[in-house]
Structure formats: C-alpha cells, structure tokens
Amino acid sequence: MSDTTTEDTAADAEAPASATTAAFTDAEISSFAAAVLKIQSLGDAGTASQEKMTAIVTESGIAPETYVAISKAMQTDPEVARRVQVAAAALQPGSAG
C-alpha cells in the first residue's frame, strides 16, 4: 500500500510544475500583486490579523486559495515571480518610466 502513496505523491509533485505559469491569468497576477502591496502597506505582516489579510486579498479580486497558490508558485517558478514583479511595479505610483 505504501507504493501507491509514493506514486500518488510523485504524480502530485510533478503536475503543478508543468502548468504553473499558464495556470494564472494576468488578472489573477495583477490582483495578487495589488493584495501584496496593500498587505505590505500595513507594515509588519506578522502583526496583521489573518482576517484583515484575507479581507484585503478578497477585496483585491482574488480568491484566498489562488493567492496562496501564486505565492507558492513564485518560490518555484521564476516566470510567475517575474510576472508578479511586473504587475506590482505597474501598480506602484511613480514607478513607471
């Protein structure tokens, strides 16, 4: 029975890596970037309540599950990280140029 668990785990680990970049729309990336900027503006993210952070994410137009997925993808997919950086730069006033 442990062989099945190992195979399932390996299949799960491989699936996200192949479709990570295509899995997120430009709108989701932009909403994620907006939420990150709002959360960062609160100061130390450790002091912000989970409810407050969830509300910011939702107000930014993205599901909390998608926010977490993009956050994790940024750590493993340089293209997702780049897309978020570009979207965040576009949202910051005075950074265009």
- What is the rounded CA–CA span in Å between residue 46 and residue 2? 39
Exposure b/e, 48-64, CB count within 10 A at least 16 = b: eeeeebeebbeebebee
pTM over 0.75: no
Q: How do residues 63-83 score in pLDDT, each as one tens digit?
A: 999 999 999 999 999 999 999
Tens digit of each residue's pLDDT (9 = 90 or more) over 31-62: 999 999 998 888 765 666 888 889 999 999 99
